[in-house]
Amino acid sequence: MERMAIGKAINAGLRAAMERDPRVLLMGEDIGALGGVFRVTDGLQKDFGEDRVLDTPLAEAGIVGTAIGMALRGYRPVCEIQFNGFVFPAFNQITTQLAKLRARSRGRLSVPVVLRIPSGGGIGSVEHHSESPEALFAHTPGLRVVTPSSSHDAYWMVQQSIASADPVLFLEPERRYWEKGDVDVDLAPGQVAPLHRARVLREGSDATLVAYGPTVRLALDAAAAAAEDGTRLEVVDLRSISPLDVDTVARSVRRTGRLVVVQEAPVFFGAGAEIAARIQESCFYSLEAPVKRVGGYHLPYPAARVEEHYLPTVDRVLDAVEQALAA
């Protein structure tokens, strides 16, 4: 076991992938000498050279478009989008080219591109730096969307994403970059959890909390607070948003009878809505209460001074749990 922060674990995972496969290269704004604004790629250009760690112009559409061309030529590009709100200039390249080339060519072409995107808020930043765009991309067929919540998952999931034949959006919870955790770097391939498998982090019997990315820690904190009053909450880390591991969530809900989904993105048309619909379909006779959702409000991400009023909190999660238990 090695103890490292999530950002450092991603760095180590990128390094391992680059050492293993010379076709893997990194692209992005200020990722070379600077090591990225969050220092996730720190030291990689020094060790692998400017041909494999490329500082690009400030042009997200150009970054993704170039990566698509390189993937078609046999490379495995990993692009860093500097901040989550900066991904939208590349939206057309991602949704009309990257996502569709494999289907358009009837499987003859693959575009194994990974887009690393800091996700969520809570860092007190300015406009366009605290978005949660996962639902936009999960809605697009042909894209895989995953998000780690721990150092261990960050290390292994970035490598699994790079190895995928399909394009992967790798959403990194930006306010969790500095949280430390244990990483087992010596696992054999068969011992690593599948990329798109959800994981039960805490067992419980009264209700299920489903979270992903930055809200997993929040769900665990809420479960710990509820336990002080004798309420046992089960916490499921979704890990993958597309494809969605409904089976793991459904097994949990059949045990607990209640479900609360926690996300930072607005709940309106969000990932939680899809989870709620799937669970209603598969667990109708097990549900003791309507599925509750906790997340951001249906408005643009607010100024940093008031973001604590926008982001879900332990109290908001526990309020939803109380409503579910009282139903």
* pLDDT tens-place string over residues 210-219: 999 999 999 9
Q: Are residues 109 and 23 in the same domain?
A: yes
Same domain? For 210 and 154 the reply is no
What does residue 277 show for φ and ψ, rounded to 5 degrees?
A: -65, -45
For residues 16 and 127, membership in a common domain is answered with: yes
CA dihedral 41, 46, 52, 56 (to 10 degrees): 60
Could you say which of 191, 215, 238 is where a domain stops? 191
The three-state (H, E, C) secondary structure of 134-193, written as one string: HHHHHCCCCCEEECCCCHHHHHHHHHHHHHCCCCEEEEEEHHHCCCEEEECCCCCHHHCC
Which region, left, alpha or beta, applies to residue 297 given φ > 0 means left and ψ of -120 to 50 means alpha?
A: beta
The model's pLDDT over 274-305, given as tens digits with 9 standing for 90+, comes to: 999 999 999 999 999 999 999 999 999 999 99
Q: b/e map of 251-278 (b: 16 or more CB within 10 Å)?
A: ebbeebbbbbbbbbbbbeebbbbbbbeb
The DSSP bridge partners found for residue 126 are none
CATH of the domain at 116: 3.40.50.970
Which pTM was predicted?
A: 0.95
Give yes or no for residue 184 having a pLDDT over 90. Answer: yes
- Claim to verify: residue 69 and residue 135 sit in the same structural domain: yes
- Indicate whether 171 and 228 sit together in one domain: no
Q: Which residue has the tokens 């391939």?
A: 189
How high is the pLDDT of residue 301?
A: 94
Distance CA 162, CA 169 (A): 10
User: Residue 86 has what pLDDT?
Assistant: 94
> Are both 230 and 187 inside the same structural domain?
no
Shared domain for 95 and 219, answered yes or no, is no
Residue 128 has pLDDT above 90, yes or no: no
DSSP summary character for residue 95: I
Mean pLDDT, rounded, for 34-61? 97
Residues 62 and 176 occupy one common structural domain: yes
Same domain, 28 and 177: yes
Both 166 and 247 in one domain: the answer is no
Nearest to 208 by CA among 193, 198, 223: 223
Question: How many angstroms separate the CA atoms of 148 and 150, rounded?
Answer: 6
pLDDT of residue 126: 86
| Helix, strand, coil in percent for the chain, rounding step 5 | 40, 20, 40
pLDDT at position 181 is: 97
Place of tokens 């994981």: 199
What's the burial of 183, exposed, middle or buried (CB within 10 Å: 0-12/13-18/19+)?
buried
Domain count along the chain: 2
Measured torsion, CA atoms of residues 223, 150, 71, 29, in degrees rounded to the nearest 10: 110
Q: Clarify whether residues 104 and 158 are in a common domain.
A: yes
Domain boundary among 130, 165, 191: 191
Location of structure tokens 């989008």: 81
Give the number of other Cβ atoms within 10 Å of residue 61's Cβ: 14
User: Are both 31 and 155 inside the same structural domain?
Assistant: yes
Q: What's the domain range around 22?
A: 2-191
- Is 113 a residue whose pLDDT tops 90? yes
Residue that is last in its domain, among 191, 207, 227: 191
Would you please indicate which residues are annotated as catalytic (active-site) residues? 129
Stated as kind and residue range, the H or E segment containing 53 is strand 53-55
4 phi, psi to nearest 5 deg = -155, 160
Helix (H, G, I), strand (E, B) or coil at 12: helix
- The domain spanning residue 221 has which CATH number? 3.40.50.920
